[in-house]
Structure 1
């Protein structure tokens, strides 16, 4: 702890406190995981205002040196690793050596689940058991359509959680979202088929389809979800419609019930396919269940898809799709030609994670946690940027859309924030047609406190206001 004399000699201020702790960490005197004094205790010891200490701690948290753990106090970030200095041990470290290396995914990044809340110990325990139980006959080529117990576990979970009537033989295990789209179109599409996508729509899905689909068209989205009237007026002859009805990506609105029925009627009449991407359908807050569009599908025209990237971890690289009964043979045939089978070991681990109930308990916990973390982010946005953004709250999801109340500079703002390791996305980049809205798409799932969110946004507050004033 810095002494009162030290603070006095350094002209008592938050910068002096910040620099002291930073130097102590870089010198190795404070190590990852070490607890530091509370704001109240340190302010009392140094006889300075609590706000002085609070400001220093916010900067240290924002830069990744400190982590607030609520009632457990504030600690040096346990994940902090310091780059080794290139100079001799007794020489002053180079400027580059002062930069912390944090083993994380980037702040405010979209689609990353709360990694700090994942039951990693349970996952590792299951992983060890599964690895030790691997049998010689399982070391051959994995099943093309996926490990049977995993297919059964997914079908069982979807029937309970998403209101489906799914049989295990309808589940096809894939490597994720892009693999889902590629496989579906490879099995069912003809070169001349028209494919519809939401506008705005998931940026990477849009970019993929532009490359693999010759006839790609876009349907606008409003407060009730994808505009089915527009679809029927201009694209009634489409063969596929790719939609995110539970929480639209990126606007997070829910497709209204009348439009759900209207969309299903169109697919049945035209003998077309609806590809339902239920990417974060598990995370709803105010209602127990938002039924999947597939749950209303009486004519088997919806191909339901999902992944475990946003519920377990992106590195798992496991997704799935629910094949309509009439298409199972075609999916199996092409799957064998494309050699789509995934490695067996992660499938076995995930199957046990689901069947033992750990997945359900984790999702239930995340619904509460994400609602709390969204509130923290919204408070921090208003604190650092009063009057700049308008947020239309959705019933859940993993991100917020902060619409600019004035101006169109979302690209410039996102670029500026990225320079400070805040990886948000400009909303206008998700649009294809001319009727755009402007704002930032912001992830909040790894925000652990209001103080952390405020410190992160404080990095870019002055520069953002200056940018908008130009």
Structure 2
């Protein structure tokens, strides 16, 4: 099939499959003809047939588009999905769709948009020709300097800009660390329960993966020493173990650091929301106690500013700087420069510190709103073990283990909670719902949302 027929069939197929949607513009005739290397008459003939059959409509000077009134029943092929993949897709849907109690999303209504836009304009106007080259692979130098100053003051570290490596997110950071340091035989330990996406990533890239349970004092270091003494990497979130949000106790912190020093092992500290403590002074990071320089600190701005920016960072032990620089040059590409420039100004001018202070107060209040609402609507079905901070609560079931069924019911009402049990890798599990609170604006809003699945919840759990 050649000429206009090929173009006609291509566009018809794209429209019928749903890839081209009603109202979406198609290229101008002369543009498409130039791209395909055919005569304008060939494209014009194909378009005329599609218009005649009702797939396209011509809007004159506004161009040609898929018929906005076109109604299609697009056939979807049912694909058998493994249980693990279906759970992963479920969490992706919860993360990406609007609704109540979303997890891991900073407050969207209280972000200083005007200040951010002002700094964005300044960064664009200050752009110079030499900045059009490939950005430094370790990150924009002013941003690295700003991050070093921030973590030294706010998280108790003692580092300089040369130790900062800018990445595009948690998964990128973990993968880069393991690419730079790990061999296929190295044992890697992850906390159980642990960050859902982190667990799925490690299952794909680590051959010798094991788990250590988390209890009310955090990662069980005694279990680690008894069963995994020969581990080379421990990946943990000691400020607020995800998703239980418990804090690694001070005795266990020192025990973990001593073990890493003696074994020449590495601790990868994921400090994803360590800024948000409410019941006492903000705890310093585990890295701040790391006299032997065995902790690789991983931070992110997804939880403090916005996930869409995709900027995270690693604080490297000094002995690893050259190795990481070499690895990054070989296997990674630099992040876009402009977002790094905007963020460096946001931090350096003090706006980030001010925003964090405001968010701590706001999140503490919003957490209490959700706790009050949960107690009012479901006084006997759940209990909460209040932790020092974080961005979500865990509502444990007072009885039973039906958290997956319950989560499905709540999700049908756009309550984007997630069952606790699926965060576990082992068979010893606890059951409940992981509930975000950072974007709840009032207690009444929380009450109204929780009442939506009330009848179904009581039918499942009992009154």
TM-score (norm 2): 0.79
Q: 1:450 aligns with which of 419, 443, 450?
A: 443
* Counterpart residue number, 2:431: 438
Q: 2:256 aligns with which of 263, 282, 291?
A: 263
| 2-structure distance, mates of 1:169, 1:125 | 29
| 1-structure distance, mates of 2:308, 2:201 | 20
Alignment of 1:74-223 (within 5 A): 105-223=98-216
* Counterpart residue number, 2:407: 414
- Matched position secondary structure for 2:117: helix
User: C-alpha root-mean-square deviation of aligned residues, in Å?
Assistant: 1.5
Alignment of 1:21-420 (within 5 A): 105-420=98-413
| 1-structure distance, mates of 2:122, 2:260 | 46
- Matched position secondary structure for 1:117: coil
- Residue 86 of structure 1 deviates from its aligned partner by 7.1
TM-score (norm 1): 0.78
Structure 1 runs, 4 residues or longer, greater than 6 Å off: none
Cα deviations across residues 80-115 of structure 1 (Å, max 9, x unaligned)? xxxxx979xxxxxxxxxxxxxxx9743211100001
| 2-structure distance, mates of 1:277, 1:289 | 16
Cα deviations across residues 298-327 of structure 1 (Å, max 9, x unaligned)? 000000001000000000000000011001
Any conservation in 1 of the 2:146–2:347 contact (CA below 8 Å)? yes
- Residue 128 of structure 1 deviates from its aligned partner by 1.0
| 1-structure distance, mates of 2:382, 2:322 | 50
Any conservation in 1 of the 2:268–2:295 contact (CA below 8 Å)? yes
Any conservation in 1 of the 2:98–2:414 contact (CA below 8 Å)? no
| 2-structure distance, mates of 1:86, 1:439 | 45
| 1-structure distance, mates of 2:288, 2:333 | 27
* Counterpart residue number, 1:52: none
Any conservation in 1 of the 2:276–2:282 contact (CA below 8 Å)? no
| 1-structure distance, mates of 2:331, 2:340 | 19
- Matched position secondary structure for 1:186: helix
Cα deviations across residues 108-131 of structure 1 (Å, max 9, x unaligned)? 111000010000110011001111
Any conservation in 1 of the 2:189–2:233 contact (CA below 8 Å)? yes
Structure 1: stretches of 5+ with no match in the other structure: 1-84, 88-102
Cα deviations across residues 367-420 of structure 1 (Å, max 9, x unaligned)? 000000000000111111111111000111000000000010000011111111
| 2-structure distance, mates of 1:420, 1:208 | 30
Matched residues, number: 371
- Residue 468 of structure 1 deviates from its aligned partner by 2.5
Any conservation in 2 of the 1:145–1:340 contact (CA below 8 Å)? no
Any conservation in 2 of the 1:410–1:440 contact (CA below 8 Å)? yes
- Residue 430 of structure 1 deviates from its aligned partner by 0.6
Cα deviations across residues 250-297 of structure 1 (Å, max 9, x unaligned)? 111110111000000110111000000000000011222201000000
Structure 2: stretches of 5+ with no match in the other structure: 1-67, 71-95
- Residue 469 of structure 1 deviates from its aligned partner by 4.3
* Counterpart residue number, 1:73: none
Any conservation in 1 of the 2:232–2:265 contact (CA below 8 Å)? yes
| 2-structure distance, mates of 1:257, 1:214 | 31
**Aligned pair in 2 of structure 1 residues 433, 127: CA closer, same or farther (>3 Å)?**
same
- Residue 223 of structure 1 deviates from its aligned partner by 0.7
- Matched position secondary structure for 1:116: coil
Q: Are 1:461 and 2:454 an aligned pair?
A: yes
| 2-structure distance, mates of 1:106, 1:308 | 22
